[in-house]
Structure 1
Amino acid sequence: MATMKDVARLAQVSTSTVSHVFNQSRFVSEDIEKRVKQAATDLNYAPSALARSLKMKCTKTVGMLVTTSTNPFFGEVLKGVERRCYEKGYNLILCNTEGDSERMKASIDTLLQKRVDGLMLMCSTLEGEKIEIFERYPELPVVVMDWGPMAYASDKIQDNSYKGGYLATQYLIDNGHTNIGCITGPLHRNQASSRFNGFIQALQDAKIDVNNDWIIEGNFECDGGYDAYQTLKTNGTLPTALFVCNDMMAMGLINAATEDGLTIPSDLSVIGYDDIHLAKYITPSLTTIHQPKHQLGKTAVDTLLARLEKPQAPQQVIQLEPTLVIRHSVIAQG
Structure 2
Amino acid sequence: MANIKDIARVAGVSVATVSRALSTPSLVRPATIERIEAAIADLNYEPNHLAAGLRRQRSDNVIVAVPSIYNPFTSAFVEGIENVARANKMRVLLGITEGDVDALNKFTSMIAGKQADGLILLEKNLPDIVLNPPAKSKLPPMVAACEYPPDLNLPRVRTDNHEASALIVGHLAELGHQRIAAITGPLDQFMSMDRLSGYKLGLLRARIEFDEALVARGDFSLQSGYDAMVRLLDSGAEFTAVACANDEMAMGAMSALHQRGISVPDEMSVAGFDDLRFGAFAIPPLTTVHIPTVEIGEAAMRLMLDSLLQQDHEGPAREVVLPHRLIVRQSTAAPRKKRKKA
TM-score past 0.5 threshold: yes
For normalisation by structure 1, the TM-score amounts to 0.80
State the Cα distance separating 1:323 from its structure 2 match: 0.9
Residues 1:256 and 2:256 are matched in the alignment: yes
Cα distance in 2, alignment partners of residues 110 and 166 from structure 1: 41
State the Cα distance separating 1:236 from its structure 2 match: 0.4
Cα distance in 2, alignment partners of residues 54 and 176 from structure 1: 59
Cα distance in 1, alignment partners of residues 84 and 269 from structure 2: 38
Indicate the SS of the match to 1:135.
coil
Residues 279, 213 of structure 1: alpha-carbon distance in 2 compared, 3 angstrom cutoff? same
Cα distance in 2, alignment partners of residues 208 and 55 from structure 1: 56
State the Cα distance separating 1:148 from its structure 2 match: 2.8
In the other structure, the counterpart of 1:121 is 121
In the other structure, the counterpart of 2:183 is 183
Percentage identity across paired residues of the two chains: 26
* Deviation >3 Å, runs of 4+: 23-27, 52-55, 150-153
State the Cα distance separating 1:60 from its structure 2 match: 2.2
In the other structure, the counterpart of 1:328 is 330
Residues 141, 324 of structure 1: alpha-carbon distance in 2 compared, 3 angstrom cutoff? same
State the Cα distance separating 1:103 from its structure 2 match: 2.2
Mapped contact 2:165–2:198 kept (Cα < 8 A)? yes
For normalisation by structure 2, the TM-score amounts to 0.78
CA deviation vs aligned residue, 1:3-61 (integer Å, no higher than 9, x gap): xxxxxxxxxxxxxxxxx99x97699xxxxxxxx97xxxxxxxxx9xxxx8899222222
Residues 55, 269 of structure 1: alpha-carbon distance in 2 compared, 3 angstrom cutoff? closer
State the Cα distance separating 1:174 from its structure 2 match: 1.1
Mapped contact 1:307–1:313 kept (Cα < 8 A)? no
Give the residue type in structure 2 aligned to 1:159.
Answer: T
Mapped contact 2:133–2:139 kept (Cα < 8 A)? no
Residues 194, 54 of structure 1: alpha-carbon distance in 2 compared, 3 angstrom cutoff? closer
Cα distance in 2, alignment partners of residues 72 and 148 from structure 1: 20
In the other structure, the counterpart of 2:206 is 206
Indicate the SS of the match to 1:81.
helix
In the other structure, the counterpart of 1:165 is 165
Residues 256, 69 of structure 1: alpha-carbon distance in 2 compared, 3 angstrom cutoff? farther
Indicate the SS of the match to 1:68.
coil
Residues 149, 237 of structure 1: alpha-carbon distance in 2 compared, 3 angstrom cutoff? closer
Cα distance in 2, alignment partners of residues 309 and 271 from structure 1: 42
Give the residue type in structure 1 aligned to 2:322.
Answer: L
Mapped contact 1:68–1:98 kept (Cα < 8 A)? yes
Give the residue type in structure 2 aligned to 1:224.
Answer: S
Give the residue type in structure 2 aligned to 1:319.
Answer: V
In the other structure, the counterpart of 2:93 is 93
Please provide the CA RMSD for this pair. Answer: 2.8
CA deviation vs aligned residue, 1:211-250 (integer Å, no higher than 9, x gap): 2211111111111111111111221034100100101111
Residues 246, 119 of structure 1: alpha-carbon distance in 2 compared, 3 angstrom cutoff? same
Residues 71, 90 of structure 1: alpha-carbon distance in 2 compared, 3 angstrom cutoff? same
Mapped contact 1:222–1:248 kept (Cα < 8 A)? yes
State the Cα distance separating 1:113 from its structure 2 match: 2.6
Mapped contact 1:97–1:107 kept (Cα < 8 A)? no
Residues 201, 267 of structure 1: alpha-carbon distance in 2 compared, 3 angstrom cutoff? same
In the other structure, the counterpart of 1:12 is none
Mapped contact 1:64–1:95 kept (Cα < 8 A)? yes
Cα distance in 1, alignment partners of residues 208 and 297 from structure 2: 37
Cα distance in 2, alignment partners of residues 151 and 289 from structure 1: 26
Give the residue type in structure 2 aligned to 1:303.
Answer: L
Cα distance in 1, alignment partners of residues 151 and 174 from structure 2: 40
In the other structure, the counterpart of 1:135 is 133
Cα distance in 1, alignment partners of residues 112 and 64 from structure 2: 12
Cα distance in 2, alignment partners of residues 138 and 239 from structure 1: 52
Indicate the SS of the match to 1:182.
strand
In the other structure, the counterpart of 1:316 is 318
State the Cα distance separating 1:296 from its structure 2 match: 0.3
CA deviation vs aligned residue, 1:125-157 (integer Å, no higher than 9, x gap): x3xx56237724624111011123277631111
Q: Which has the larger Rg?
A: 1
State the Cα distance separating 1:333 from its structure 2 match: 2.4
Cα distance in 2, alignment partners of residues 237 and 69 from structure 1: 35
State the Cα distance separating 1:114 from its structure 2 match: 4.2
Gaps of 5+ in 2: 1-17, 25-35, 37-45, 337-342
Residues 54, 96 of structure 1: alpha-carbon distance in 2 compared, 3 angstrom cutoff? same
Give the residue type in structure 2 aligned to 1:215.
Answer: V
Indicate the SS of the match to 1:132.
helix
